[in-house]
Amino acid sequence: MSKPQHIHILGICGTFMGGIAAIAKQSGYRVTGCDANVYPPMSTQLEAQGIELIEGFGVEQLELKPDVFVIGNVVSRGNPLMEEILNRNLHYTSGPQWLADNLLRDKWVLGVAGTHGKTTTTSMLAWILEHAGLNPGFLIGGVPQNFGISARITDSPFFAIEADEYDTAFFDKRSKFVHYHPRTAILNNLEFDHADIFPDLNAIETQFHHLVRTVPGNGLVVSNGREESLARVIQRGCWTPVEKFGSDDGWNIDSNEQVTLKGKPQGKLEWDLMGEHNRMNALAALAAARHAGVPVAQGLAALTEFKNVKRRMEVRGTVNGITVYDDFAHHPTAIDTTVAGLRRKVGSARILAVLEPRSNTMKLGVMKDALPASLKDADLTYCYAGNLGWDANGALAPLGDKAIVKEDLNELVESIVSTAKSGDHILVMSNGGFGGIHEKILKRLAD
């Protein structure tokens, strides 16, 4: 029996590369990896799967002599291990390329692209396929609670993947999603983001059009009918049938959660998720699943049992009648829809929005002028300004005394706790760990 092929992953602890590691291991590869930040939860998840982890990027790792080095996009020129791989002309490839060449080649790939909602929509789609008995594989940038894992490979032809527009690797500046060759492609929405790699919206539209160019004629493009940016992408050329959602000439949903397709009733969406954005995500997932053979009624039945992804309006605790939520929102549009969704749920109760502008785009200050409007539905806004390169007080000035800015995390926590009273809803929004602020708030409230 020949020994399994050995891959060594540089930057293994990111959600995406960790997911690749997991499904490579499940597929019979020998998997090792390294990263600068080898700590839980990703480290424990990987070690539980028998994946050997090394701290740092030391050149001694070349002694492992893997068949190929798989390079994550956290790795840049100057990384000591990468420099030696280049000097010795060793075999290396990117994560998306390795995935496409080795695990996706024979799959019906369902790719979910968009500025917002990729993780949630991919989770919905995977769950609909699972509920229908299709046993899909998937790779998702979060942990869907219906599955409890972020990635798996199965013998099913179907594979649902979060199709990210972020760049592939230091040596491949195309978006990750051009590698996946989906037969079913969801274009969920498209706005300016990732200001660290894209100069403007047009540059991102070009990458989305590269994706559209890879979808076969017997495939399907499921596109948000409310987005002018996506209309422009498709106008550049499309060789695949297109189904729109959020519009009367395609899939739609009314305020009573009745789903229609070209005006014809398809059934009712019965679930407890909040917000118009989630209803749009559901339409996209229903359309994509229908392309894979799942009747709409069955898709709707699956969504009644859908549990949202962790960190999507997740209740972290309630103390003295004060509820603390955790949400991944970090782009003004996502902040707006998240706060608006909570407002619809809680009515006139007070919402205390707590924001960490942590993404590369937010750190650069590109979106700062859009922040006040995105927080309009909150009663008070608390902003953590530690390590920010722009003036948060100035940016949030339109909110007047409804905005409180602190550069010290503990001072921020004290300010929130001293103001909060029974019946309030504290909504924490960040795409990072935010210094464990949720637990700190809950602990201080309990004290």
Helix residue spans in 256-364 (DSSP H): 276-291, 296-303, 332-346, 360-363
pLDDT at 388: 84
**Domains defined for the chain, CATH in brackets:** 6-94 (3.40.50.720), 104-303 (3.40.1190.10), 314-446 (3.90.190.20)
**Count of residues for the chain?**
447
Overall average pLDDT of the 178-196 stretch: 86
With beta carbons less than 8 A apart as the criterion, state whether 404 and 381 touch.
yes
Per-residue pLDDT reduced to its tens digit, 383-434:
999 888 889 999 999 999 999 999 999 999 999 999 999 999 999 998 878 8
CA distance 264 to 42: 45
At 163 the pLDDT is 93
CA dist 318 and 316 (Å) reads 7
pLDDT at 272: 80
pLDDT recorded at residue 195: 60
Average pLDDT rounded to a whole number, residues 303-314: 83
User: What is the distance, to the nearest Å, from the Cα of residue 310 to the centroid of all Cα atoms in its chain?
Assistant: 11
Q: What is the DSSP string of 246-281?
A: SSTTSEEE-TT-EEEETTEEEEE------SHHHHHH
Mean of per-residue pLDDT scores for the chain: 92
What's the pLDDT band for 192 if we cut at 50, 70, 90?
low
For residue 365, what pLDDT band results from cuts at 50, 70 and 90? confident
Alpha carbons 109 and 205: distance in angstroms, whole number = 21
Residue 239 near residue 183 (C-beta atoms within 8 A): no
Over residues 7-58, the pLDDT tens digits come to 999 999 988 999 999 999 999 999 999 999 777 667 787 888 899 999 999 9
